[in-house]
Structure 1
């Protein structure tokens, strides 16, 4: 079970807002907090979680591999933090001798700040706006309406297409506050392959475990 604290604000209309969210992660996946404790989490990954290396890498190169992974993780964490990220999740153990190229970020979103706009109207507007090269649909997350966007994206022209899935979720009992869960993977190099679809299905299964905690 992954738990992450939410920044606290005064409750609205004396209705308790959640203190955190919770997710059930697949085996081999970890959480890197982005607001505090990031350095400690990375140290734990480097010296504990990454005791294994992909097949084909000589034992003498294991530490070099881990240090390179540390550099890449730090880069991802910094980028996610700059974009309002709360937590970064990714697999750190190989499956079948290979590392999965995938990750997702939970972040706060600067939308719906007008408390008078019901979340349903915000979601309907986002669905109507759609998403280039993909689809936007209203779904249920933790027993409440949310948005799911599934699309393909490349950072720069000519780069490999990446499969992306975003969930946009209103914070329960806290009007005007939203979070997003943003998944990204190049899959096996084909954004529409069966392998890539399996990774998307895995992410959707993780989101299906999402719940708010009021403890």
Structure 2
């Protein structure tokens, strides 16, 4: 079987993708979203730079060296806010790793207070890790945040990591169901 060339998954219709590997792509995505969010508003010229700054900060808080894109829900007029985010990372195999061994290492890395398990999703069994952490808020304070991660092994070694985060701890159960649905829609493209 030929290795896949890419992957895909479904996110809710009001979520937007921001590509982070290239500064120009990231800036273009943020600008496009800020323009769409402020379109038709009389205070657009004042508001658009503020929206762009918030988007840049949200992306920066979720980006590491392996992150390829970030997905954020964008508020539609009259809709309740859903504060969560998805960072998508591609982790290449390390020297000496055997294909398929990443699941065990991922699950063993759960640590204190984390829950690691293999869950059966629409795409098949997937390693899932749930933990709580402290994350920076835009105003500088720290906020307790839930993180739910899913590891999709790459054929031949390495994996794609879907990392969801939310500060809405009281909505964690229904949000985890949403995260499971998104992670379960993951598919390899030939």
What RMSD, in angstroms, separates the aligned Cα atoms of the two structures? 2.7
* Superposed displacement of residue 110, structure 1: 5.0
Q: Does structure 2 retain, via aligned residues, the 8 Å contact 1:33–1:88? A: yes
Q: Which residue of 1 aligns with 2:145?
A: 162
Question: Which structure: larger Rg?
Answer: 1
CA spacing shift, 1:44–1:155, aligned 2, 3 Å: closer
Q: Deviations over 1:81-120 (max 9, x none)?
A: 54321111011133744432111110122555425x231x
Q: Which runs of 5+ in 2 are unaligned?
A: none
1:206 matched to 2:188: no
TM-score with structure 2 setting the length? 0.81
The alignment of Structure 1 onto Structure 2 pairs a total of residues equal to 184
| TM-score, scaled to structure 1 | 0.73
Whether contact under 8 Å (1:114, 1:176) holds in the other structure is no
Query: Which position in structure 2 is the counterpart of 1:39?
Result: 27
Against the structure 1 CA distance between its residues 124 and 82, is the aligned structure 2 distance closer, same or farther, given a 3 Å change threshold?
Answer: closer
Q: Which runs of 4+ in 1 moved over 6 A?
A: none
Assess if the C-alpha contact under 8 Å between 2:14 and 2:73 holds in 1. yes
TM-superposition CA deviations, 1:12-70 (whole Å, max 9, x none): xxx41111111112121111112242222112111124548xxxxxx654543432221
Q: Which runs of 5+ in 1 are unaligned?
A: 1-14, 53-58
